[in-house]
Structure 1
């Protein structure tokens, strides 16, 4: 099987395809940095940096599966107040319809936040795909159920040229603790009680200490897992595009490092990341966990 990867980011979807023995022949993103690092990790694919609203689908190789992760920021509850540019972000999903209209590939898999299903234009989007002969089956998947040490709830729409929606029977694996990916002695720690530390942060750490002891993880700002954090013996909450999670160890603390977030996304340790911490965290936080993509594609192959 061959695939293309739309809104490819750093390449979690493509890595999952590789593990499923699906060859990604073409990948595109509007952000040059994402294209650069997708290319570094998947050099055999053709890479294009462009707004996919402008894509000439005649130039895209034939394929069996269209993988796509349209912008989620316009749908996510974390977006905050509705802004005019959110409409532009949500409209990226129409590139999937354009691609399928031209190529009529047997399958597509679209990843987004579950709120994508509440989009006001979602019924019209589904109708457009239906008129092209496609059926849709939403799958709400937590990456932790696939053996990733991170609770990452995402919607994967399985789109198929079939009379009935294709509901996949996906495997489930035991949950893994976040302690497995913490590089305890590889990075610099800071004192918790250093000058300038906010009172809110100190109170949050103290509350977490009472519940979990001397070692635990906590959101560095108030949202996520309440105010006390969570045990290192369970999966962590979602890694986002900004520094969110801190590790507490005794009277010291530090933020998760890119190499740890990479492991928390289920990417191999050899996966190339930007040298700049902020860029690496942003690319990783926007990504797809490869094992979920692998499990979906393996089931699609059986259904083909």
Structure 2
């Protein structure tokens, strides 16, 4: 489970910084989260294969979170993409993208599906046997969602010494991994607990950008392995955060502490600041496990 930050600044692209976009690699999926200007370039710099991106999650319709989407969709066409592409985002995103395609005489040679969001309560957007993605309703100037990505670890770990001693054939391994007991040829029933160990703890990642300080998200993100929470401003400019419905580093840390997350990742920094280190210092006064997002940086989410 790996997170690659493609851009982590607010508002506009600059010479050495990019607005918001991330890639989460989880259970053989590559999910793109937001898609600001410059996302294609950052994807290439990070050597992420375009063809493996099948699901794009857009938090809200402010330009620094989705103005790169039409370009990426067009590039997929030029690369002769064949896989279906699913875009999840606020109501209106379909109209915006299709208008741009029509006005430019463009088209897609692949199936393009839009899943438009309107709910103000959490809902599941995507689910398979390995992963679940659901919304985190956020409070910003326009309709906004964060996203919660969760592994689904159903398989138990095989106790190889025990299985070998009992001479159990490999054909039964899948049954054992999914909790089944085994009946031996002599009639003995071996309980699953004697053949397996508990599965690894399922990992989770919560993406919360953009939002003001809002304690209502705490139950939705409780105990996640990694929380990305916007921190556009420092506390000495909290009046700007309040006016624009953004958050400070201190407020992000307060949410992390209340939610008892394992690690906090700060991002969406205002370009008014010359350094991001003060954000870390401020947040660590409330919550000790703090990372700073950085364009192009990768973060491994370890197995607990």
Shorter-chain TM-score: which interval? 0.3 to 0.5
Which protein is bigger by CA-based radius of gyration? 2
TM-score, normalised to structure 2, is 0.34
Q: What is the TM-score with the length of structure 1 in the denominator?
A: 0.34
**Higher helix share goes to which structure?**
1
Which structure: greater strand fraction?
A: 2
